[in-house]
Structure 1
Amino acid sequence: MDHADALTRPHPEVLPAPVPLQPEPPPAPPKAPVFGPRLATGLAGVLLAVLLAGFNEHTTEAGLADIRGAFHLGHDEGTWITALFEAFNIAAMAFAPWCSVTFSIRRLTIAMTGLVGVLGMVAPLMPNLSSLLLLRCVQGLACGSLPPMLMTVALRFLPPKIKVYGLGAYALTATFGPNLGGAPLAGFWFEYVGWPFLFWQIVPLCLVSMVCVAWGLPQDPIRLERFRQFDWRGLLTGLPAICMLVIALEQGDRLDWFRSPLITHLFFGGGFLFVLFVVNEWFHPVPFFRIQLLKQRNVTDALLTLAAVLMLGAVTAEIPTVYLEEVRGYRPIQIAPVMLILAVPQVLALPLVSALCNIRRVDCRHVLMAGLAIQGLSYFLGTWIDADWVRENFYAMQLLQVASEPMMVIAILMLATMGLGPADGPFISGMFNMTKGLANAIAAGVISALLRRREQFHSTMLLDTYGTNHTALQSWGDPAQALLAPHIADPARLDWNMTVLLHGEASEQALVLACADIYTIMIGVCAALFALNLVLPQRVYPPRAPSTTAPAR
């Protein structure tokens, strides 16, 4: 062999190793649709579906007295109509994002909206309480599946420059929807039309929403392969856990909380299952919730602040309603202006606050704290409540809250979502909406308990002060006796009637003082949230196109 050939021929030991075959790259994700009139119509359809789900919830709560009368139900039986609906409504929020990824947002939204409409159409025709309760459970599942779709759609389809406005549209469901869907709509339907329209009002809105979603949203493929890693343990622990906890919160005040074996079993059983659910979600490869997101300070802060802010919103709606009904004797249609003055301006306030938060120089944490300060100021005005207040006395408080509620909710949404990637959208949507639902249930239970306990305390103190015997009644003086004496045939009954009058006055004054106490407590809640958001969240910036986005500090 030629020496030159030996030098140029590669040696067996130094032959290049064969290049291993590379795995086929995954298919590129579908190109995001261009935002235009068609996609905007689809987003409007999802927003309408979420609003009508809220209307269905709040109008039936406000009109529960008429529904009970139509079905010949007592008070205790009627409370289960709302308790079961709320339980399944909140539970569905936890699992709907997984279903939207599996079956597509468009299919799930159309199916659930159609189911809500059909069940609303047949609800007044139910023959008995059992069938009505079953219907409300299924309708709660359908209604609860819709709110997560709105946040998911806003995070996925909106261009970066207007994504904050999409969060503002979602905020409508927390500010505009509950205040419009309570006393205003309920009062109109059963004052002028009839109680069945408390259910039927959503049917035409469902049809409009389904058409908008079907035409406007793009269709994703069905991904049935996700069932191979379906989180069965999460479903079997999470669904009953959430339902048990919500029912305990809804029925707790009526059954005197832990003095009731039912409430005790629901709380401890639901709490145990919920702990198992959280542990399972931490380790499952395809969870319903990505619990690891709570490691991010902004997500934890947003969820905590959201729960407290929703309690503030419940007080905003509950206290004026209770006071005007119990002290002034108003009907829902007469309370409607108090709610409308808070709800209607939100349509303008939310876009304005969204535009403010979309300015890069504006820190949404400062917007949140300013909103908390304004909310606290409105509650300070509420501490001056007395038995002479009428509907117009609440207007100044409500106008302050027109500004404060959008500032709080939009800032919270930005803190929760701006630091996350696209793949985290369904997870944060489920966590955010389930927190929202649970917070509403907790707020309802806490406010009912506070109102009742403080009213009992003040009533006892007032009656102890004035007394119920003849000697204490002398503190009313001769004018009171002179007023009653001509109307009482038997002078021996004068002391009894003075006692009844005193008890009625004491009960009314006790309720007024209880309302003032709750406003004072809410000032403390605002102060605590202000301090929390001074130290916990990190600054986030409004989204921009990738080429212009600067790193966050």
Structure 2
Amino acid sequence: MSAITATEETQADGAYKMLVLVTMACACMLYALTLTIVNVALPQMQGAFSATTEEISWVVTLNVVATAVVTPLTGSLVAWVGQRRLLVICLLGFTLASLACAMATSLEAVLFFRILQGGFGAPVVPLSQAIVLQVWPKEEYGKANGYLGMSVVIGPAVGPSIGGWLAEEFGWRFVFLMIVPFSLLALAGVMRWIREGGKAALPRFDYLGFLLFSVAIVALQLVLDRGEREDWLQSGTIVTLVIVMCAAFAMFIANSACVERPFIRPSLLKNRNYVVGLFLVFVYGSVNFTPLVLLPQLLQAYRGYPDTLIGLVLAMRGVGMIIGFYAAARMGKLDPRIGLVLGTVAIGTSGWMMSLYDLNMDFWDLSWPSILQGIGCGLMWVPLSMVSFSTLDRALLPEASSLFHLIRNMGTSLYVAASVFLLVRMTKVRYAEMVEHVSPFDERLKFPEVIGGGAVQWLDSLGLIANEAWRQSALTGFTNCFWFYALTCFATLPVLVFVKIRKSD
């Protein structure tokens, strides 16, 4: 009889673990979805509000800034109100902010509610990961992180295709309205299945540290997001932001060394695996989202693909992620370095394949690298989470997870900014080199197959030549970005030797 009771308890615990995992996965996917789904609606929003390109870009920028500021607060907020109550507050605020974005009648209102959406949504992903790791035993971290990670990265992968279809069929407001019912469903799951916990006597809060850190992060995000538009250090605004950022970071470090309980505890950085994990998640954030920024530009502007077909190409990446996460979950008991190596090599190889693109590639030429990249991202995420958190005390998980995801977001911002800078600069350089050789005295330009079919005079062909020179120069810029992408992955491999495989430090 006792054996039957024990079996029933085990089954109940197993069911509860899965219910918690499904609830947290839904919450994570919704938040991650909003990071990319709004991008496809920006042209419609720009027209609706009669905004400039500069003004409408703040719809994305301010959301990212709010997320970056609030994410490190997750650990302190859990200690203050408890994990269940915090999730309820965040999901309810996130839902109302999303609904308000859909109903907004001015750009200023959209910007305000996007800030609220980013602020309320910021703690969801790190807190969800911390709750899952608290509920699941350490020997099953691989499986739990596999399923949870699938929701975190598949949302941004499929978001553009869904958002593009909604925007084309129903208008930009439905991009935000779609989020509301699913957010309410996730909220109901939290209220039903998530238990209270994590609340503790909160030590004296480091308000100065939080203020300095927030100023530094906001300045950094603004530099990254606005730098290319403002011509980087040629702009007085960017120079001022850089000075503010450096001063705030320096004062934050000095403050952390002087207070008893700093905003970000230095004790977290004493764990070797966690420090290695922070570096690797920075790289992961760098390589995970960059193709979502570069590929749509390449395919739409220089290949003429419609939004729906671009969405299908990005969906292939989501298919690869499902395969990668499933394989990673099955490999949970193996040495995590195996998954890290396989995932990093797969992502790097996909970057090398993309660097071979030309302007005549077809759908399957685009799909195979995307699938391989998705597989690599899935294979890498699960062992990365295992390595980072397996040797940490469970009491530190909320704070450690918030810093972990902050570093991931910073990696994304930094790398996307670097890639866009490389793209623009190399396109201009290559175009300048090509047009140097365009001259009416060049004998090759007398042939119709060179100057364009149907053109018989030099002046008639000048526009065609300039357009083709720019297209080929842009392609060179994109391929250089993809080479940089591949090299980043392969250069990360030697860091894996610092991963320690043991149960405790």
Query: TM-score, normalising length from structure 1?
Result: 0.84
Give the SS at the match of 1:484.
coil
**CA separation in 2, counterparts of 1:385 and 1:298?**
37
Could you say if the C-alpha distance between residues 509 and 254 of structure 1 is closer, same or farther in structure 2, counting changes exceeding 3 Å?
same
Match of 2:375 in 1: 403
**CA separation in 2, counterparts of 1:316 and 1:49?**
24
Q: Of residues 499, 502, 505 in structure 2, which corresponds to 1:537?
A: 499
**CA separation in 2, counterparts of 1:284 and 1:430?**
21
Match of 1:435 in 2: 407
Match of 2:78 in 1: 100
Q: Are 2:445 and 1:475 equivalent residues in the alignment?
A: yes
Match of 2:346 in 1: 374
Q: Of residues 507, 514, 522 in structure 1, which corresponds to 2:470?
A: 507
Q: Any unmatched runs of 5+ in structure 1?
A: 1-32, 486-493, 542-550
- Tell me if the contact between 1:42 and 1:214 (Cα under 8 Å) persists in the aligned partners: no
Give the SS at the match of 1:387.
coil
Q: Are 2:328 and 1:353 equivalent residues in the alignment?
A: yes
Q: Any unmatched runs of 5+ in structure 2?
A: 1-10
Give 1:285 deviation, angstroms.
Answer: 3.5
Match of 1:328 in 2: 303
Match of 1:260 in 2: 235
Q: Of residues 336, 340, 345 in structure 1, which corresponds to 2:315?
A: 340
Could you say if the C-alpha distance between residues 349 and 482 of structure 1 is closer, same or farther in structure 2, counting changes exceeding 3 Å?
closer
**CA separation in 1, counterparts of 2:65 and 2:297?**
24
Could you say if the C-alpha distance between residues 180 and 285 of structure 1 is closer, same or farther in structure 2, counting changes exceeding 3 Å?
farther
- Tell me if the contact between 2:324 and 2:378 (Cα under 8 Å) persists in the aligned partners: yes
- Tell me if the contact between 1:380 and 1:520 (Cα under 8 Å) persists in the aligned partners: yes
Q: Are 2:268 and 1:296 equivalent residues in the alignment?
A: no
**CA separation in 2, counterparts of 1:34 and 1:285?**
43
Of structures 1 and 2, the larger Rg is shown by 1
Residue by residue over 1:100-156, the C-alpha shift from the partner in whole angstroms, topping out at 9 and shown as x without a partner, is: 222111111111111111111121332322222122112110111211111111221
CA RMSD in angstroms comes to 2.3
Q: Letter of the aligned partner of 2:31 in structure 1? A: A
Match of 1:191 in 2: 168
**CA separation in 1, counterparts of 2:446 and 2:41?**
40
Q: Are 2:436 and 1:464 equivalent residues in the alignment?
A: yes
Residue by residue over 1:340-398, the C-alpha shift from the partner in whole angstroms, topping out at 9 and shown as x without a partner, is: 11113433431321220x22xx2211321222222222222222211111332111212
**CA separation in 1, counterparts of 2:272 and 2:52?**
47
Could you say if the C-alpha distance between residues 471 and 274 of structure 1 is closer, same or farther in structure 2, counting changes exceeding 3 Å?
same
Q: Which moved more, 1:63-72 or 1:163-172?
A: 163-172
Query: TM-score, normalising length from structure 2?
Result: 0.92
Q: Of residues 180, 202, 224 in structure 1, which corresponds to 2:179?
A: 202
Give 1:34 deviation, angstroms.
Answer: 7.0
Residue by residue over 1:26-45, the C-alpha shift from the partner in whole angstroms, topping out at 9 and shown as x without a partner, is: xxxxxxx9734345323322
Could you say if the C-alpha distance between residues 280 and 48 of structure 1 is closer, same or farther in structure 2, counting changes exceeding 3 Å?
farther
Give the SS at the match of 1:419.
coil
Give the SS at the match of 1:316.
helix
Match of 1:484 in 2: 455
Q: Letter of the aligned partner of 1:244 in structure 2? A: A
Could you say if the C-alpha distance between residues 475 and 174 of structure 1 is closer, same or farther in structure 2, counting changes exceeding 3 Å?
farther
Match of 1:242 in 2: 217
Residue by residue over 1:462-485, the C-alpha shift from the partner in whole angstroms, topping out at 9 and shown as x without a partner, is: 111334xx2248525245477124
**CA separation in 2, counterparts of 1:34 and 1:266?**
54
**CA separation in 1, counterparts of 2:335 and 2:18?**
28
Q: Are 2:284 and 1:309 equivalent residues in the alignment?
A: yes
Residue by residue over 1:465-519, the C-alpha shift from the partner in whole angstroms, topping out at 9 and shown as x without a partner, is: 334xx2248525245477124xxxxxxxx43332211110011111111121112
Could you say if the C-alpha distance between residues 277 and 169 of structure 1 is closer, same or farther in structure 2, counting changes exceeding 3 Å?
farther
Q: Are 2:66 and 1:83 equivalent residues in the alignment?
A: no
**CA separation in 1, counterparts of 2:133 and 2:467?**
54
Q: Letter of the aligned partner of 2:119 in structure 1? A: L
Could you say if the C-alpha distance between residues 62 and 184 of structure 1 is closer, same or farther in structure 2, counting changes exceeding 3 Å?
same
Q: Of residues 469, 472, 482 in structure 2, which corresponds to 1:519?
A: 482
Could you say if the C-alpha distance between residues 212 and 453 of structure 1 is closer, same or farther in structure 2, counting changes exceeding 3 Å?
same
Could you say if the C-alpha distance between residues 332 and 189 of structure 1 is closer, same or farther in structure 2, counting changes exceeding 3 Å?
same
